[in-house]
Structure 1
């Protein structure tokens, strides 16, 4: 009888667990190829495939939404979305956002230049008098964001930024190394634009989930499942298909908004 009651208790707790219920989440992100983007109206990308697989293993359905980065942050903070894919851990977000311990990837912001108009840049001081193309709502690190010796000029999309660089309307563009290289290949600009070796900022980016009752359990489950998935051949295959030769890299640059962002 005691064994029966114990098993019944376990079963009851399982049925009441938020992770066991048919939960549906709304996760938003900016268009951030090759990490997450839309193709023929469907979500694609390295982060998308990895996160989608983790959610499947947790038996959680996800509705994916795309919008400008600053709006992504706003809808999560306002409770209109359940989470955001590819975000930094910032103290300003702690009141409304939870993060798994396991990151999706490691950010690596670098500068891109036109080969026809090269610049020698090893420190932020070398940017004096120049105009650097940025993306609206992104956080490139305190040192870059607060430097007063150069001008920052925002563009609505990463493609627009690289187009301005190719046309000489900005001197440099800052973006994630992998995002920049991916877009240059798609735009056919690989022979016109290159990445500089100086890293402006690097730090891990995560899935961020809105703070709600029971979400801490989901955060922990997502982290453990992601960590286990990274050890499987299927994960290495996803990384390879998106040009990542080192699967351990999963621990890239972020679409961080300045809200101050």
Structure 2
């Protein structure tokens, strides 16, 4: 049997193996606007809508569930979910998860501070003695996570972190630039919060699935179709819809930035 025919047969088997038992691929994620979020009962976002289109082309049905991120990781560990959307690659998870070769997008973790308590830090050394708000289960890079210069204080949501920032309970918070700007706009905090100059880390994020029968092939097919879709006008339109971001400066002005081609 030719190799291409073997691959096509295996691909068909992967899809049919889910459908045969009336099963859908169970994907968990945490609201992470503008990448994935619930807009008045409708799921939206750059990575969510991209993933939906790719799976539709592959003929794979998906069941989605929003959970706190630590719960998402627990669901994967316990086998109650088949995969997670917008997860970073970690070698600690390699024994459990398979990652496509093509990422969905890339995040930039930055720091935000309240304008009435300015902390325009240039490096992580400038955080000495401060408290930084974090999100449970997130990977911000070893330099940030291993530092003993400052304290880290988790909050149950990104909105809660910004609330603590405005109340002065933390000095700064860390989150993805586009996520932070989305929350700032949603909470009406424009002009009261600024972004520090330092970029803590840049990390690609993926749709990863638990290891299992047929999943290695599914990951390969997902990566190939995702890469193909990224070359199409439909992806360019979707990217433009969610891609424009603004860098918030301490002066209250904004600088328009366009999404990078790597996303």
TM-score range, shorter chain: 0.7 to 0.9
Following superposition, the deviation at residue 20 of structure 1 comes to 5.2
* Residue 109 of structure 2: aligned partner: 109
Which whole-Å CA distance do the structure 2 matches of 1:138 and 1:93 have between them? 13
Q: Partner of 2:80 in structure 1?
A: 80
What is the TM-score with the length of structure 1 in the denominator? 0.88
| Alpha-carbon separation, structure 2, partners of 1:34 and 1:136 | 19
Asked if 1:13 is matched to 2:26, the reply is no
TM-score normalized by the length of structure 2 = 0.87
**Alpha-carbon distance between aligned partners in 1 of 2:260 and 2:61, rounded to the nearest angstrom:** 26
**1:39 Cα offset (Å):** 2.2
CA contact (8 A) 1:235 1:247 kept: no
For residue 145 of structure 1, what is the aligned residue in structure 2?
Answer: 145
Secondary structure of the equivalent of 1:34?
coil
Deviation at 1:45, TM superposition (A): 1.1
Using a 3 Å threshold, how does the CA distance of structure 1 residues 249 and 194 change in structure 2: closer, same or farther? farther
Q: Which residue of the partner structure matches residue 162 of structure 1?
A: 162
Counterpart secondary structure, 1:13: helix
Once residues 203 and 40 of structure 1 are traced to their aligned partners in structure 2, the CA distance between those partners, rounded to angstroms, is 29
> For the Cα contact (< 8 Å) 1:122–1:198, is it kept in 2?
yes
Shift of 1:190: 1.4
CA distance in 1, matches of 2:56, 2:232: 15
Change (3 A) 1:134 1:13: closer
| SS of structure 2 residue aligned to 1:31 | coil
Residue ranges of structure 2 left out of the alignment (5+ in a row): 245-257
- Partner in structure 2 of residue 124 of structure 1: 124
Do the aligned partners of 1:14 and 1:20 also contact (CA within 8 Å) in 2?
no
Identify if the C-alpha distance between structure 1 residues 159 and 20 changes in structure 2 by more than 3 Å, giving closer, same or farther: same
Q: For residue 238 of structure 1, report the CA deviation from its aligned partner.
A: 0.9
Do residues 246 (structure 1) and 242 (structure 2) align?
Answer: no
Task: Give 1:156 deviation, angstroms.
Answer: 0.6
Cα distance between partner residues in 1 of 2:260 and 2:170: 34
